[in-house]
Amino acid sequence: MQRTFVLLAWLASPAWAAGVRPYPQLDFGASPAQISTSCAAARHEAAFRLRQVADLPDSARTFANTPGAIESILDDLNDRTAADAFLENVAASSQTRAASADCRGLLRDFGAYTAQEKGRLVFSRKDLFRAVSAYAAQAPSLEPVRRRLLDRELMDFKRAGTEISLERRAILSAVRERISMLQDDYAQNLAAAPDYLLVSKAEVAGLPATYVAGLPRLMGQYVIRAGGADYLPFMRNSPDAAARRRLEFLYHNRAAAQNVADLSEILRLRDVAAHILGYRDYAAYALEGSMAGNPKQVLGFLKNMQEKLAPPARRELKILAALKTGAEGARSDAIQAWDWNYYDRELKEKKLSLSDAAAVRSCFPLDRVLKGLFALNQTLFGVAFERVPDAESWAPGVDLYEVRGDAGQGPILGYLYLDLFSRPGKSGSAAAFPIIRGRRLSDGAYQKPVSALVAGFAAGRPGAPPFLSYGAHGQVQALFRAFGGAMAWTLTRAPYERFAGFDAIPDFTAVPGDVMEDFAWRPEVLALISRDPRDPSQGLPRALLRRVLAARRADLALENLRRVFFASLDMRYHMDPLVTKPTAVYQKMAKEISLIPMTPGTNPEAGMPKLARGAGAYGRLWSEACAQDVFSRFAGEGILNPAIGWLYRQEILAPGSSRPAQESLQAFLGRAPSDEAFFNSLGIAR
């Protein structure tokens, strides 16, 4: 049977609203009222079943009817409401998105999503805690994955406060409620910050014409909104240093009067909550269940990163300072906060001109990229993608694919929706979403996962395929990264939904996407996904590739050192309960670690929502280091080596979070994990 490998979403069947579904409950055409009704009914049914678990006599408890049953009930709830909860990300109707968001909130509060502080109503229940504890007290001999599930459930109960007295639980509840209110206040203050900069016609000289044309006007001047989408393009493209400095000052003082105090109180209360639960500090609480495991490991990782990155970063700063001296006509030895984005872009554009970028884009038509991406995954993982005709979806232009094993000759392993083109109500970022997660069913069969890859690419001109940008932050790389995430959902064989993929290991979640993105940079893969417009039988011209790679590597050490700074700052904030002056801490650490000083009089921490969420900023660097280590086996033994691809599928993707990530890495690498490959990718000797 001939397989279809090329997605032409702009020619999708008009029968998008009714047709084939992977599962009957995946009704993507439900009305807001239907979403609300079905979500509430599913929650009610789950609550009834949980009461039955709690009411069992302790003498009758087994793994299947207690911890296993709780997990199964939550998994059933996830599956029954899968479409209702997913539509928030893709529905064209704002009313449908709002109803879907309400459903997700209902499920989150109930406990269908149990990572970190979620799952409050299920795992804060004393009756269920007593039930699971009674079973655990039997000291059962369990296979590793069942032991891991039992331990994770007990951890969830502990984090919810079920082990502490009613009086202390009441205090914890009040503290958490106050934290939630402060987080909302922090975000709302930031969204409502009215700061903007007025600039003259002379001050927008040198900026892209399309950017200037889109700026509002006031009293004959241009309005640059400090907190909106105007900020970064201005900072990256304006040659006017004085204007950049004024805008940076506004940007890093957004909502400062309220948010500095809010952040200080959030940090203090998080520390209080952590101590109530028996943790040394909030960082120890936040890192429980992660691959790093504890703050000591994270601090050691960040310190090592800082030591290795600082020398090349200083050399890169000298190059930027020389550019600044040449542009501003006077010697300047220091790059300031308002300089970084501008001169970083200048340096990259010296490596890759705008005309080069346009030429590169013309080499990546979407149909070619997708065909090559599918072929790459078939080679590596032995899977094929067959388009399902007349499939039901949530919008025109969305296609459903069966993912089949044995290079297309085997059974269906899962389903993948591709929703790649922009429309109102969608994010422009490329991302993978699990809709129905894989798990082992009671009859022994494996539930086939359903995932979606959602992006916001421009559809292109009528009759012509769209083209994708390629580079350090290009659309090709974003598509590969999202596809890697989708394959992690699709190829899992974890027995429980919470372990399908890597949500249960937050600092490993991004690894499959990062690994897949690494393939997009290799000549062997470029031959599959690109074509030379002058000679379609050839891929991206090597001269262009060399310039793209040179631009990619520019300022990598400095860029990563800045990430080390933000991660270190995040850890310091969440390990020191005495951080009552977060601005002073920011100023000191910026100078010591990032090498680019904070502008005096600013309060950058007032406009950083990730800080308000807490103690996870190190995770992306950690994931990238793991991903480079994984990719080093492909680089050393064959980029398109199916034996290494199969090993990666079996030892990392298939187990998901059902065993510690350290064990999966060890099994795949044949050695202990190392950061050597990460530093090699930056051109830094370990």
Q: Angle at Cα 551 formed by Cα 369 and Cα 241, nearest 5°?
A: 125
At residue 109, the pLDDT reads: 75
> If pLDDT is split at 50, 70 and 90, which confidence band does 117 have?
very low
Strands (DSSP E) found in 280-352: none
At residue 362, the pLDDT reads: 92
Residue 177 CA: distances (Å) to CA of 119, 180, 266, 430, 661 = 15, 5, 11, 33, 33
pLDDT at residue 41 is higher than 90: yes
At residue 359, the pLDDT reads: 87
> If pLDDT is split at 50, 70 and 90, which confidence band does 111 have?
low
At residue 139, the pLDDT reads: 87
Select 9-169's CATH number: 1.20.1050.40, 3.40.109.10, 2.40.50.140, 3.20.20.20: 1.20.1050.40
Domains of the chain by residue range = 9-169, 194-253
CA separation for the pair 124, 565 (Å, rounded): 36
The pLDDT tens digits for 258-267 are 999 999 999 9
Identify the CA nearest to 571 among candidates 262, 266, 287: 287
| The token pair that represents 44 in the structure block | 């009610």
At residue 114, the pLDDT reads: 38
- Per DSSP, 535 falls in state B
Pairing of strands 450-457, 412-421: parallel
The pLDDT tens digits for 374-398 are 999 999 999 999 999 999 999 999 9
| The token pair that represents 468 in the structure block | 């994708």
CA separation for the pair 56, 127 (Å, rounded): 11
Mean pLDDT lowest among 79-83, 117-121, 203-207, 313-317? 117-121
Q: What percent of the chain has pLDDT above 90?
A: 76
Contact assessment for residue 567 and residue 618, using Cβ atoms and an 8 Å cutoff: yes
pLDDT at residue 368 is higher than 80: yes
| The token pair that represents 140 in the structure block | 């059962």
pLDDT at residue 609 is higher than 60: yes
Q: Which of 102-106, 119-123, 313-317 has the highest mean pLDDT?
A: 313-317
H helix or E strand, kind and range, residue 250 = helix 241-251
pLDDT at residue 334 is higher than 90: no
CA separation for the pair 499, 493 (Å, rounded): 9
> If pLDDT is split at 50, 70 and 90, which confidence band does 426 have?
confident
Averaged pLDDT, 466-472: 90
Averaged pLDDT, 266-274: 94
Residue 261 CA: distances (Å) to CA of 257, 265, 414 = 7, 6, 48
Identify the CA nearest to 457 among candidates 498, 422, 405, 508: 422
H helix or E strand, kind and range, residue 283 = helix 282-287
Averaged pLDDT, 589-611: 92
Residue 191: CB atoms within 10 Å: 11
DSSP codes joined into one string, 371-398: HHHHHHHHHHH--EEEE-TTB--SSTT-
Averaged pLDDT, 53-70: 97
pLDDT at residue 174 is higher than 50: yes
User: For every residue of 113-141, which 3-state class applies, written as one string?
Assistant: CCCCCCCHHHHCCHHHHHHHHHHHCCCCC
At residue 3, the pLDDT reads: 33
Contact assessment for residue 420 and residue 457, using Cβ atoms and an 8 Å cutoff: yes
Mean pLDDT lowest among 392-406, 604-618, 666-680? 604-618
Task: Give 452's strand partners.
Answer: 417, 433
Mean pLDDT over each residue of the chain, to the nearest integer: 90
Q: What percent of the chain has pLDDT above 70?
A: 94
11 versus 310: which is more confidently predicted?
310
Q: Which residues lie closer than 8 Å to 413 by C-beta, 6 or more apart? A: 383, 403, 404, 405, 448, 449, 490, 491
The pLDDT tens digits for 642-671 are 999 999 999 999 999 999 999 999 999 999
> If pLDDT is split at 50, 70 and 90, which confidence band does 332 have?
low
